[in-house]
């Protein structure tokens, strides 16, 4: 099974739901359970929300690009923005770290926990790209052994 | 193809409430994400202020999805309420929402009751 999707939209909050449902729809046929798909939706929602909130700092005129592909039993999703970028990626990925006092700093935690791998590339002033992968058929993720 | 759209997905959020002598019950319907976070925060704060001294129960039976933006609003209300000695309790929590609450450690912080399907009417 090979399928691929590119979704490009403006940085408005209404598109977060669109992106997570589109990715879940693409991922469904390769054997994910309904609860797997719910977890994938959360991961996509976090990445796209970050692009909007942090990348473009709430501006509604930035582009966000989601590329999703399924190859055999693996889903790969990337979310990219061309916003402010991240100065210290390791710091940003720490649980409970947020540059916004109103937020919880759990977005990267959810992406890591609900997917099998997470790669973050970013440069200040250039933008951010996160790539996440998850295989179907590997059973429940063991979150307590991380 | 598997059905990946859940009940309530894509519909606008609605909030209804009922006031009891010691408790404010707020039933939320819809997905709690970045799109609705601001409105959810505003509405809950208004209700919390309008009915002081009462504990608050959020009924999430009609909430199919929560991410960290939605969770942040719930946790923020918990902090406000507990600072005033008031309790917050979550009921009707569906499995995908439960997974997010557990990962965030919220289930240890406040009372969380899972969704119980209604028994069929005979
Ligand atoms: N796309 C992005 N562009 C710029 N900064 C980002 C981006 N994604 C994440 N960050 C930074 O990483 C931090 C942690 O992100 P996250 O774990 O999602 O927590 P939160 O969104 O609650 O702040 C953010 O506060 C922000 O500073
Ligand atoms: Mg985030």
Ligand 1, residue A99: give the atom nearest the CA: 25
Show the tokens assigned to A75.
């889903």
- The position carrying tokens 């008031």 is B86
Q: Any bridge partners for residue A135, and if so which?
A: A74
Q: Residues B75, A104: contact at Cβ < 8 Å?
A: yes
Residues in chain A closer than 8 A to B1 (CB atoms):
25, 28-29
| Nearest-ligand number for the alpha carbon of A120 | 1
Residues in chain A closer than 8 A to B72 (CB atoms):
102-104
Chain A residue at shortest CA distance from B103: A110
Q: Does B10 touch chain A (CB under 8 A)?
A: yes
B72: nearest CB among A38, A42, A103: A103
Burial class (CB in 10 A: 0-12, 13-18, 19+), A132: buried
B87 vs B16, B42, B47, B105, CA distance in Å? 19, 19, 14, 17
Output the average pLDDT for chain B.
92
Question: What pLDDT does residue A38 have?
Answer: 98
Of A50, A94, A110, the one to substitute when testing ligand 1's pocket (max ligand atoms within 8 A of C-beta) is A50
Q: Which residue, among B89, B83, B91, has the nearest Cα to B109 in the 3D structure?
A: B89
Query: Could you report the predicted ipTM of this complex, rounded to two decimals?
Result: 0.92
Length of chain B: 122
B5: nearest CB among A21, A106, A113: A21
The CATH classification number of A2-140 equals 3.30.565.10
Ligand 1, residue A51: give the atom nearest the CA: 1
- The position carrying tokens 């501006």 is A59
Task: Return the number of other C-beta atoms located less than 10 Å from residue A68's C-beta.
Answer: 24
Q: Exactly one of A103, A121, A131, A133 is catalytic; which is it?
A: A103
Dihedral sign, Cα of residue B88, residue B92, residue B98, residue B102: positive
A121 catalytic? Reply is no
What's the rounded mean pLDDT across residues A138-144?
58
Centroid of ligand 2 to alpha carbon of A106 (angstroms):
6
Model confidence pLDDT, tens digit, residues A105-122: 999 999 999 999 999 999
Which class does domain B2-114 fall in? alpha beta
**Residue B1: pLDDT band by 50, 70, 90 thresholds?**
very low
Q: Residues A136, A73: contact at Cβ < 8 Å?
A: yes
Measured CA to CA, the distance from residue A37 to residue A19 in angstroms comes to 13
A38 catalytic? Reply is no
For B11, list phi and psi in degrees, rounded to 5. Answer: -85, 155
Question: What pLDDT does residue B116 have?
Answer: 93
Model confidence pLDDT, tens digit, residues B78-94: 999 999 999 999 999 99
A134 catalytic? Reply is no
């Amino acid at each position: 099974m090979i399928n691929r999707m590119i979704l490009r939209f403006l940085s408005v909050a209404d598109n977060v739901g669109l992106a997570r449902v589109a990715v879940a729809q693409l991922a469904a046929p390769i054997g994910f359970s309904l609860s797997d798909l719910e977890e994938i939706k959360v991961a996509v929602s976090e990445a796209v929300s970050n692009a909007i909130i942090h990348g473009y700092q709430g501006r509604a005129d930035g582009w966000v690009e989601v590329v999703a592909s399924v190859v055999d039993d693996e889903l790969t999703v990337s979310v990219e923005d061309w916003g402010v970028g991240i100065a210290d990626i390791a710091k940003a990925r720490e649980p409970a770290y947020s540059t916004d006092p109103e937020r919880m700093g759990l977005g990267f935690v959810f992406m890591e926990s609900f997917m099998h791998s997470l790669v973050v590339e970013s440069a200040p002033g250039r933008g951010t790209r996160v790539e996440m992968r998850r295989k179907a058929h590997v059973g429940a993720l063991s979150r307590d052994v991380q | 193809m598997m059905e990946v759209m859940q009940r309530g997905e894509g519909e606008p959020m609605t909030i209804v409430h009922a006031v009891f002598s010691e408790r404010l019950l707020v039933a939320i319907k819809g997905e709690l994400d970045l799109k609705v976070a601001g409105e959810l925060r505003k509405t809950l704060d208004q209700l919390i202020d309008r009915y002081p001294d009462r504990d608050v129960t959020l009924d999430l039976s009609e909430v199919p999805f929560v991410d960290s933006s939605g969770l942040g609003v719930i946790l923020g209300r918990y902090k406000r309420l507990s600072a005033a000695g008031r309790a917050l309790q979550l009921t009707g929590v569906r499995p995908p929402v439960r997974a997010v609450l557990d990962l965030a450690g919220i289930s240890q912080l406040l009372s969380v009751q899972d969704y119980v399907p209604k028994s069929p009417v005979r």
